[in-house]
Amino acid sequence: MFIELRNIEKSFGDNKVLKGISFAAEGGKAFGLLGRNGAGKTTTIRILMDVFSANGGEILFDGEPIDYKKVQFGYLPEERGLYPKKKIIDQLVYFTELKGIKRSEAVKAVDYWLDRIEMSQYRNKRLDTLSKGNQQKIQLVTALAHDPQIIILDEPFSGLDPVNAMLLKDIVKEEINKGKIVLFSSHQMNYIEEFCDSIAIINKGEIAISGELHDIKRSYPRNRLVVRSEKPDEIKEAFGQSVAETDDGGIMITMESPDEKHDVMRRLAQNYDVDEIKVFEPSLNDIFVEYAGE
What pLDDT score does 247 carry? 79
What pLDDT score does 144 carry? 96
The model's pLDDT over 192-215, given as tens digits with 9 standing for 90+, comes to 998 899 999 999 999 999 999 999
> In which order are the strands placed within the sheet that holds 30-35?
73-76, 150-154, 181-185, 30-35, 196-203, 206-212
Res. 80: pLDDT tops 80? no
Count of helices and strands (H, E) across the chain: 10, 14
What pLDDT score does 64 carry? 95
Res. 78: pLDDT tops 80? yes
The total of other beta-carbon atoms located within 10 Å of residue 136's CB is 22
Amino acid at 120: S
Res. 241: pLDDT tops 90? no
The reply to whether the predicted model has a pTM over 0.85 is yes
Question: What's the whole-number mean pLDDT along residues 80-105?
Answer: 93
Give the pairing type, strands 251-254 and 243-245: antiparallel
Res. 32: pLDDT tops 90? yes
Question: What's the whole-number mean pLDDT along residues 65-75?
Answer: 94
The total of other beta-carbon atoms located within 10 Å of residue 245's CB is 11
Res. 238: pLDDT tops 80? yes
Q: Give, in order, the Cα–Cα distances in Å from 94 to each of 89, 101, 111.
A: 8, 10, 13
Mean pLDDT of the chain: 92
The model's pLDDT over 132-159, given as tens digits with 9 standing for 90+, comes to 889 999 999 999 999 999 999 998 888 8
